[in-house]
Amino acid sequence: MIVHPIDYRYGSKEMKRIWSEESRIKRMIWVEMTLLKALANHGYLPKKDVEFARKKARKITPERVKEIEREIKHDIMALIKAISEICRDCGEVPRWVHFGVTSNDIIDTAVATQLRDTIKILEIKLIKLALILAKKADETKMVICLGRTHGQPALPTTYGFRFALWTSEILRHIERLRQMKNRLLVGQISGAVGTQSAFGELGIEIEQEVMKYLNLKPSIISSQIIPRDIYCEYIEFLANLSTTLEKIATNIRLLQRAETMEVMEKFEEKQVGSSTMPHKRNPIISEQICGLARVIRGFVEPQHQSSILWEERDLTNSSAERIILVEATVLVDHIINKTIEVLSDLKLNYENIKRNLEAYNHINMSESIMIELTKRGIERQKAHEILRRIAILSYEKNIPFVEALKDSEEIRNYLNEEEIENLIKPENYLGTAILKIENIVKEVKKLLNSSSI
């Protein structure tokens, strides 16, 4: 019986494949066999036995491991028994399976391989997202629109500036992801309390060999489990990333509102917007991104709680992390895909963008007039008050702002009508917007050129 929506509604095949139960079990078997290989290198057992066992171990099924677990009530011991069972004719292998290690040596190291493969996928997708955003920023850098603060008309900006702002956040997430690798992708072969006592002086060397085979780093020190602050950092990263994706989706939703209608999610030919209102074209993908981002951020606190363990460890983290790591990862991957989908097909309504820019008769250009008055000798605070009063008059008397400016003796003492007309043109008051957009686009190109992916 399928219960969780991740099984049938959310998540990509490649990410769910990494975090599936079958993958988890196979990776733990892989860690056990890699340990045997390292032990063989140090003379514990013949190398030929290990090579034979590695081929045999590929035939172990998750179903068999689960069958043993139902009987003995311990997942890793079930794994050990399954390996020993299938490798009983592999010479010395059954004797040395799981030698010197504890359950979380296998679990945490297997999880590290999942994280390693996950980060590769996330990095590729985030670079793709940055490229899409940068392309849109470049294409729309001169599409002037009404800026809004507090939901009210503000200075003019451009759509390219909005896309560039979002791009900058994605660039920082890529940087964080790359910086995090060194701390996150660690495994351990440390024994019951972390002291590697079963291996004596060979402990560090054996651990290093295992991690080298697995393309991981050994944890510099750990108890029975790898310290969970690294998992906290990972979940916090996912939460932070999900917030940026929700920010993008929220603003698309706002800009698609009927009163604004400047952008539009793709709406396919046979798509239905409402079961009862046939006219509806809802931003459902952006809404899904927002909803799932909130679920992802909800995992931050449980993961922090899972870092607080008794002495060398207890088991309170185990059950929580089986949910946290899988769901947070699969859902973040899902909403990255959805954000890429939305932005790839996002439509801009240029007529509505222009309409909204001009809807307030340029009252949003009051700062431009104030700044020019200050340059011409009026104290900045006095200029602010003059413009505030003119704006209120324009609002309350429904007088076009430009006419209210021209009718003001205080304004006419410093500016003629032609100067007023030029000062309220949005294209004349964009500051360094275009330069900043171009700088972000350059940063994305540099990222692409320097990327090893």
Cα–Cα distance between 282 and 288 in angstroms, integer? 11
**Confidence (pLDDT) at 314:** 87
Tell the CATH topology of 17-96: Fumarase C; Chain B, domain 1 (1.10.275)
Under 8 Å between Cβ of 171 and 443: yes
> Can you spell out the DSSP letters for 214-228?
HT-EEPSS-SSS--T
- Amino acid, res. 111: V
pLDDT digits (tens, 9 = 90+) for 165-210: 999 999 999 999 999 999 999 999 999 999 999 999 999 999 999 9
Q: Please state whether the predicted TM-score (pTM) of the whole model is above 0.85.
A: yes
Mean pLDDT of 309-319: 89
Cα–Cα distance between 416 and 21 in angstroms, integer? 75
Q: What is the 3-state secondary structure (H, E, C) of 324-340?
A: HHHHHHHHHHHHHHHHH
- Amino acid, res. 104: N
Q: How confident is the model at residue 246 (pLDDT cuts 50, 70, 90)?
A: very high
Tell the CATH topology of 363-424: Ribonucleotide Reductase Protein R1; domain 1 (1.10.40)
**Confidence (pLDDT) at 418:** 95
Query: For residue 263, which of 98, 375, 145 has the smallest C-alpha distance?
Result: 145
Q: What is the DSSP letter of 427?
A: G
- Is 304 among the catalytic positions? no
Among candidate residues 42, 74, 197, 274, the one labeled active-site is 274
pLDDT digits (tens, 9 = 90+) for 425-437: 999 999 999 999 9
Q: Is 346 left (phi over 0), alpha (psi -120 to 50) or beta?
A: beta
∠ CA 364-166-280, rounded to 5°: 75
pLDDT digits (tens, 9 = 90+) for 110-121: 999 999 999 999
Averaged confidence pLDDT in the chain? 94
Sign of CA dihedral 104, 110, 113, 118: negative
**Confidence (pLDDT) at 453:** 54
Among candidate residues 150, 279, 450, 452, the one labeled active-site is 150
What size, in residues, is the chain?
453
Q: How confident is the model at residue 267 (pLDDT cuts 50, 70, 90)?
A: confident
Task: Reply yes or no on whether the pLDDT at 390 is more than 90.
Answer: yes
- Is 452 among the catalytic positions? no
Domain ranges of the chain: 17-96, 103-265+282-356, 363-424
Beta-carbon count within 10 A of 435 CB: 11
Query: For residue 82, which of 64, 59, 100, 109 has the smallest C-alpha distance?
Result: 64
Mean pLDDT of 364-388: 95
**Confidence (pLDDT) at 447:** 84
Task: Reply yes or no on whether the pLDDT at 259 is more than 60.
Answer: yes
**Confidence (pLDDT) at 278:** 77
**Confidence (pLDDT) at 452:** 58
Under 8 Å between Cβ of 159 and 252: no
pLDDT digits (tens, 9 = 90+) for 108-159: 999 999 999 999 999 999 999 999 999 999 999 999 999 999 999 999 999 9
Cα–Cα distance between 39 and 367 in angstroms, integer? 74
Task: Reply yes or no on whether the pLDDT at 257 is more than 90.
Answer: yes
Task: At 199, give phi and psi (nearest 5°).
Answer: -95, -10
CA-to-CA dists, residue 347 to 30, 213, 339, angstroms: 48, 48, 14
Mean pLDDT of 268-278: 74
Mean pLDDT of 322-336: 97
pLDDT digits (tens, 9 = 90+) for 51-96: 999 999 999 999 999 999 999 999 999 999 999 999 999 999 999 9
Q: Pick the range with the lowest mean pLDDT from 43-47, 242-246, 274-278, 432-436.
A: 274-278
Bridge-based pairing of strands 347-348 and 152-158 is unpaired
Under 8 Å between Cβ of 438 and 137: no
**Confidence (pLDDT) at 270:** 79
Query: What is the token pair recorded at 244?
Result: 């940026």
Residue with tokens 């997202």: 129
Bridge-based pairing of strands 217-218 and 186-187 is parallel
Pick among 1.20.200.10, 3.20.20.140, 3.50.50.60, 3.30.1330.10: CATH of 103-265+282-356? 1.20.200.10
